[in-house]
Amino acid sequence: MRLLLIEDDESLAQGMLTALRRAGYAVDHAATGANALRFYEAGQLDLVILDLGLPDIDGLSLLQALRKIQAGIPVLILTARDGLSDKIAGLDAGADDYLTKPFAFEELLARIRVLSRRSGPLREAEIHIGNVSLNIASHEVQLNGEVQKVSRREFAILRALADRPGQVFSREQLEEKLYSWGDEVNSNTVDVHVHNLRKKLGHSVIKTIRGVGFILGDSE
């Protein structure tokens, strides 16, 4: 799952980035509204965490601009503005949730999980690939009804392929699902994760299209 954190406080942003990535999320960071728009327009986001006090644009104005580009991505406002009128204004502007600073990180994670269950491809609670099933909310993978231990990046690859079962993904496209912008990626990272998934779930779960990339197979 890929998040966009829009936060101009560098110290807070770095702490949140570290904690969110440890929790298993791929996270991009924008410190200004202009950078946030560039990330948003690039697509492939599952959820936005938005601070209202940005240096170049009011957060509510940015929220309205984001909604005009794509309305379906959940937005969680995270701000020090704790008045009732502020909360109402944020929700009326199109936010899906509103959390005030200071906050407990565990509560932020819980709210992200709730929004994830409500939105986009996550409306499908489970995805089935032959005798393999993916639980989107819990990130659990089962083979013939037995839970298999997979890493968060292995799950991300499987999820990306399962969301579009007829599409071939290049290595570069799968890398974008796994890493935030600026992360260092080894050239064989995707191949290693695919190899591990085949060992755990069966060789046919992911097919290689030589010279092109990978496509979802049938794990039978």
| Tens digits of residue pLDDT in 96-134 | 999 999 999 999 999 999 998 776 544 456 778 888 988
Burial code of 140-158, b = ≥16 C-beta within 10 A, e = fewer? ebbbeeeeeebeebbbbbb
Q: Does residue 218 have a pLDDT over 80?
A: no
Query: Beta-carbon neighbour count of residue 211 at 10 Å?
Result: 5
Q: Does residue 28 have a pLDDT over 80?
A: yes
| Tens digits of residue pLDDT in 126-178 | 778 888 988 876 778 999 989 999 988 888 888 888 877 788 999 888 887 77
Query: Beta-carbon neighbour count of residue 52 at 10 Å?
Result: 22
Q: Where in the chain is the domain with CATH 3.40.50.2300?
A: 2-121
List, in sequence order, every beta strand (DSSP E) within the chain: 2-6, 26-30, 47-50, 75-79, 97-100, 126-129, 132-135, 140-143, 146-148, 206-209, 213-216
Q: Where in the chain is the domain with CATH 1.10.10.10?
A: 125-216
Over residues 8-18, the mean pLDDT reads 94
Q: Determine what percent of the chain is predicted with pLDDT higher than 70.
A: 89
User: What does the block give as tokens for 19?
Assistant: 């904690």
pLDDT of residue 220: 45
Q: Using alpha carbons, select from 203, 185, 182, 186 the residue that is nearest to residue 194.
A: 203
| Tens digits of residue pLDDT in 54-102 | 999 999 999 999 988 877 789 999 999 999 999 999 999 999 999 999 9
Q: Which CATH number fits domain 2-121: 3.40.50.800, 3.40.47.10, 3.30.930.10, 3.40.50.2300?
A: 3.40.50.2300
Q: Which CATH number fits domain 125-216: 1.10.10.10, 1.20.58.760, 1.10.8.640, 3.40.50.300?
A: 1.10.10.10
Inter-residue contact 93 to 63 (CB < 8 Å): yes
